[in-house]
Structure 1
Amino acid sequence: MTAVSDVAARRSASTDSPWQDGHHGTRRSAAPTTLTAEHGDVYVEPDLTPLGAREANRSALSALLDTVGIPHFAVRGTVDHGTVIGVDEEHRESVLQAVFRGLSQFPGHLTVVDPDAPRPAKPVSSRDPRAWRDVATARVLQISWYRTDPGRHLLLGHEYGCALEFWQRQGAHLVAPRANRITWAVAADGGNVKGAARLFSRFVSDWTPEPLAPALSTRPEFLVNCADDIAFPVDAVYTWVDGNDPAWQQRKAQAKGEVYHAESASDARFISRDELRYSVRSLHLFAPWIRNIYVVTDDQVPAWMREDVPGIRIATHREIFRNPEDLPTFNSHSIESQLHHIQGLAEHFLYFNDDMFIGRPVAPHAFFTPNGTARYFPSRNRIPQGPVAETDSPVDAACKNNRALLKERFGKVITQPMEHIPYALRRSAMEEAEREFPEAWARTSASRFRAMTDLSPTSSFALYYAAMTGRAQPGSMPFAYLQLAVPDLADRLQRLRDGRDRDTFCLNDAFSTPEDIEAQQELLDDFFTSYFPTPSPYER
């Protein structure tokens, strides 16, 4: 996946694309637009997603084989971005003729894959005669049609293509030309069966929308559950507030006398920059394995959000708080202490602040192990030594409170807070922690603003509690943390957008002044719409 900028369209005719769309039948796509000599032909796709590009490439190649009656089957390959189709070596000539005709009509990209090569070959435009030089004897071909969104912000290229493998007959079996996740051989005369889409990519779950991830025709040998598969559901939870809502502002004003620290009631903490809309887009684009999204609010609904589609739901404070007297609250620690009470929430869930985003396709394995253990991501910072002091920030005070309770219970000292990465949580661990530490939990729930007695339930305490009870382990991932109140914000956002090499990133804002906000918003609007150009199904 690559960022596309300064694209000049050199062709303008339209043409029918060779793939099918699960919603609308045959799609009409803009003609190939030559971006650069390196990129070659690129097709403009509305509603573009990585998973959609992957499936479109697979279905296009499958359709080419179907037109000439070539039997084929989906293979459980070793990569998640693309797909793999296996064919009998005996059909090579007919297969290559079909591929040549298809790529002549709809130019794409081609690679002859050498399974023994130390690095993959560079894709070549199918218009280039060099692309066809070694196909007659190739064991594996990678075929793709590059795609970009109408705004030309994303370029989904060869990694989302479909590999065509030529399996050789050896007695009663077809033998693979390279390793896959399951087997070296299938029955030569065996029939095909349907296999769930999640078997063929870790970016897919049983809850991924069917048009993006249909069941595939495969061989029975591939219908096994592997030890490294994740089949359990994973939900996403957000906390969100519209700080411009007059009713909410009035409730906040009435409770403001409890503020103890300038950061606690900083207006920047409650500004809605539409981050939630784009964070949800990031899930739609890059984590389509999420089952349900819950948005926890104080009786508020984002103006852009649809409530009539499955997969997303508002969970109000009134619904999740066990003690109604704790409301209203303006303390994220308080709200986070009640997240595990969301009705229907999965055992495994990711908790997002609305300024956290998925930056590129990631699998649930980044956050959970296949046996369900959660991963947490310790910071390079250290929790200050000593007891809570008046000069501590709310974050440090909560970390010290976490440390004291956990040391008393387990005899172990935590030294690190967590990075600003979505928090992988176990619902059962939070329920148990609330039962084991009822006074500290109730005290945190009752704090209307951040208090020196708070725990930080989701960003530290529940993660370490899960670790000390065998349900979490440390992990690592490429991530970025950007503080918005910096003079070089534009440059930092540009590097993040151009690189697109972080699994997650956070755009945090606790210290911006009213003068900063207008200038920041213009930069953020451009950044969000170019990084996440495809609306989610949950937008009006």
Structure 2
Amino acid sequence: MVSNNLNPNLKKFLLIFTFLLLLILFLNQNNNHKSARLKTATDSIKDQVKKKEEVKEKENEKEKEKEKENDNVPNDDKIEEKDDDPKDGNEEGEGEKSKEEEKDKEQEEDNKIDLVYTWAGIVKTMSSNIRYNYELQFSLRSAHKYLPWVNKIYILINPDTEYPYWLKKDYSDKIILYDRCKLFDNPDHCPTRNTFAIFAGVHKIQGLSNKFILIDDDVFFNQPLTQDYFFTKDSRLKVTEVRIPVKIYKDDEFKEFNYPEYRWAKCSHRPKPMRKDLIVKFHEAYPGYAELVQSHLRRYKDLSEEFSLIYYEFFNQKRWIEPVGGQEAAFFQIPHKHPEDITKEFEDIYTIFTTQNVKCFNCNDDFSSKPEIYEKQRKVLWNFYNKLYPETPDYEIPNPDHEKYF
């Protein structure tokens, strides 16, 4: 206790000194507490860091041990392990590759175009409807020469037709003689010589490409033609647009079915581009058509309905046809009337075919019914065809005895 007798100034000094001393003591004690807390916190952090380092060190040791184990595993097992766990990127790449392959396959199938013939065989007769004038042999040569992209060739025959004497049998995977009776639901309607009845079931040919070309054996190609001559890029059918009156129906029985009526140019002796899927749609729309047409065993007896005309009109209504002009088609019809001596006539025709734009032509059998005249005409035809198509394809038997079959 400070005495009251002290000098006031001294008394004041002592009080201030005492206060400062107490303050110093308090602050010093507080700093000691802070230092202790700081030291505790620092030690805690150090412990945590040390523990993490220990954990990391243990993990590194485990990784090293695992690597040593992997080094002792054979390479084949490593490859299998990698294959069992493919990366997502690889799966996506494989999926894209699969889609591309599928697209390429579809494009490849779409590019396939077959040829389909009907053929009566080699018949020893003077009937101009079915007698053989080397047509099929040289029509095939023309396709071989000018349509090398053709996939397969189907020749629709009656089951009793003899195999062509000039055709090798080891080419049967490319040139296929096909029993036309397989195209008929009613076996009583076949064998038949009605071409329209055969064409009514042509979409049933096993293995036939979706896009194909119907062709008679007396139709020939005279220039190199691409697929674009027959089909557009979007697979529509190219058909010559020349409008002339065409009578489709002769029998009254056809009128009641209300089939599409077509009045474009007659197409019976021209190459006819077709699509199998479109023919199926036609038969779905007119389910009784095939039975009605196929019930006629003869083409000209009581049936004038033109197969391709009724199909094409149906396709045209659905906008599946691309009309083309006659100049683009460049089709030549050899005249139907001939003199007895046709030598000069066919020399002139040969000049036309080799100097002008003739892409394909028809040579119908309108020759003489008199055997002695016909024999001379047939030999002129042989020379004419051989001048146009002199090369013997691999599928033909070289130098067969033709006269043996006439």
- Shorter chain as denominator, the TM-score bin is 0.5 to 0.7
Match of 1:281 in 2: 141
Equivalent position of 1:475 in the other structure: 324
Distance 1:447 1:413 in 2: 21
Identity, in percent, stands at 22
Contact 1:237 1:296 in 2 (8 A): yes
Give the TM-score normalised by the residue count of structure 2: 0.62
Gaps of 5+ in 2: 1-103, 398-406
Alignment of 1:296 with 2:156, yes or no, is: yes
1:348 aligns to 2:211 (yes or no): yes
> Within 2, Cα distance between the matches of 1:271 and 1:498?
28
Picking from 178, 184, 187, the partner of 1:324 is: 187
Shift of 1:271: 1.0
Distance 1:538 1:491, change over 3 A: same
Offset from partner CA, 1:461-500 (integer Å, 9 cap, x none):
2222222122222123111111354226334433334326
Per-residue CA distance 1:1-42 (angstroms, 9 max, x = gap): xxxxxxxxxxxxxxxxxxxxxxxxxxxxxxxxxxxxxxxxxx
Q: Which residue of 2 aligns with 1:456?
A: 306
Q: Deviations over 1:121-140 (max 9, x none)?
A: xxxxxxxxxxxxxxxxxxxx
Question: 1:269, 1:305 → 2: CA distance?
Answer: 23
Give every structure 1 segment of 4 or more consecutive aligned residues whose post-TM-superposition deviation is greater than 6 Å: none
Q: Secondary structure at the match of 2:169?
A: coil
Tell me the distance in 2 between the aligned counterparts of 1:465 and 1:230. 25
Flag the structure with higher strand content.
1
Map of 1:518 onto structure 2:
375
Q: CA contact under 8 A between 1:235 and 1:292: conserved in structure 2?
A: yes
Contact between 2:262 and 2:309, CA under 8 Å: does it hold in 1?
no
Cα distance change, pair 324–419 in 1 and its aligned pair in 2 (3 A): closer
Task: Tell whether 2:168 aligns with 1:306.
Answer: yes
Contact 1:377 1:421 in 2 (8 A): no
Contact 1:441 1:455 in 2 (8 A): no
- 1:432 counterpart (274, 281, 285): 281
Instruction: Name the counterpart of 1:269.
Output: 129
1:423 to 272, 290, 297: 272
- Distance 1:274-1:511 versus aligned 2 partners, 3 A rule: closer
Alpha-carbon separation, structure 2, partners of 1:405 and 1:292: 38
SS at the partner of 1:315? strand
Q: What SS is found at the alignment partner of 2:132?
A: coil
For 2:389, the equivalent position in structure 1 comes to 532
Which residue of structure 1 aligns with residue 233 of structure 2? 370
After superposition, residues 141-180 of structure 1 pair within 5 angstroms as none
Name the CA distance, whole Å, in 2 between partners of 1:493 and 1:401.
Answer: 42
Preserved CA contact (<8 Å) 2:245 2:263: no
- Alignment partner, residue 117 of structure 2: 238
Change (3 A) 1:330 1:418: closer
Contact 2:216 2:270 in 1 (8 A): no
SS class of match (1:425): strand
Separation (CA, whole Å) in 2 of partners of 1:312 and 1:454:
31
SS, match of residue 351 in structure 1: strand
Alignment of 1:194-213 (within 5 A): none
Counterpart in 1 of 2:346? 490
| 3-state secondary structure, aligned to 2:332 | strand
2:170 aligns to what SS in structure 1? coil
What SS does the corresponding residue of 2:363 show, helix, strand or coil?
Answer: strand
Aligned counterparts of 1:436 and 1:337: Cα–Cα separation in 2: 14
- Choose the corresponding residue for 1:414, options 255, 263, 267: 263
Correspondence 1:359 to 2:222:
yes
Q: Distance in 2 between matches of 1:242 and 1:492?
A: 30
CA distance, structure 2, for counterparts of residue 330 and residue 316 of structure 1: 13
Q: Which runs of 5+ in 1 are unaligned?
A: 1-224, 250-265, 389-396
Q: Larger RCO: Structure 1 or Structure 2 (Cα < 8 Å, ≥ 6 residues apart)? A: 2
Change (3 A) 1:435 1:454: farther
How far apart are the structure 1 equivalents of 2:349 and 2:227? 26
Structure 1 position 413, deviation (Å): 5.7
Higher helix proportion (structure 1 or 2): 2
Taking structure 1 as the reference length, the TM-score comes to 0.47
Q: Distance in 2 between matches of 1:421 and 1:405?
A: 29
Describe the SS at the equivalent of 1:517.
helix
CA RMSD of aligned residues (A): 3.1
**CA radius of gyration, larger in:** 2
Match of 2:361 in 1: 505
- SS of 2:111 mapped into structure 1: coil
Gap change, CA 1:409 and 1:506, over 3 Å in 2? closer
CA distance in 2, matches of 1:268, 1:377: 27
What code does the residue aligned with 2:383 have?
D
Could you list the per-position Cα deviations for residues 57-82 of structure 1 after superposition, in whole angstroms to 9, with x for gaps in the alignment?
xxxxxxxxxxxxxxxxxxxxxxxxxx
Q: Does 1:337 align with 2:200?
A: yes
Are the structure 2 counterparts of residues 467 and 538 from structure 1 closer, same or farther at C-alpha, using a change threshold of 3 Å?
Answer: farther
Could you tell me how far apart the structure 1 residues matched to 2:214 and 2:348 are?
Answer: 25
Residues of 1 paired with 2:335 and 2:129: CA distance?
13
Is the 2:210–2:277 contact (alpha carbons within 8 Å) kept by the matching residues of 1? yes
Could you say if the C-alpha distance between residues 413 and 532 of structure 1 is closer, same or farther in structure 2, counting changes exceeding 3 Å? Answer: closer
CA displacement at 1:401 relative to structure 2: 8.8
Determine helix, strand or coil for the equivalent of 2:224.
Answer: coil
Question: Whole-Å Cα distance in 2 between the matches of residues 433 and 380 of structure 1?
Answer: 23
1:281 maps to amino acid: R
1:486 match: secondary structure = coil
Name the amino acid aligned to 2:177.
Answer: I
User: Residue 433 of structure 1: CA displacement?
Assistant: 2.0
CA contact (8 A) 1:360 1:500 kept: no
Q: 1:230 to 1:335 in 2, by over 3 A?
A: closer
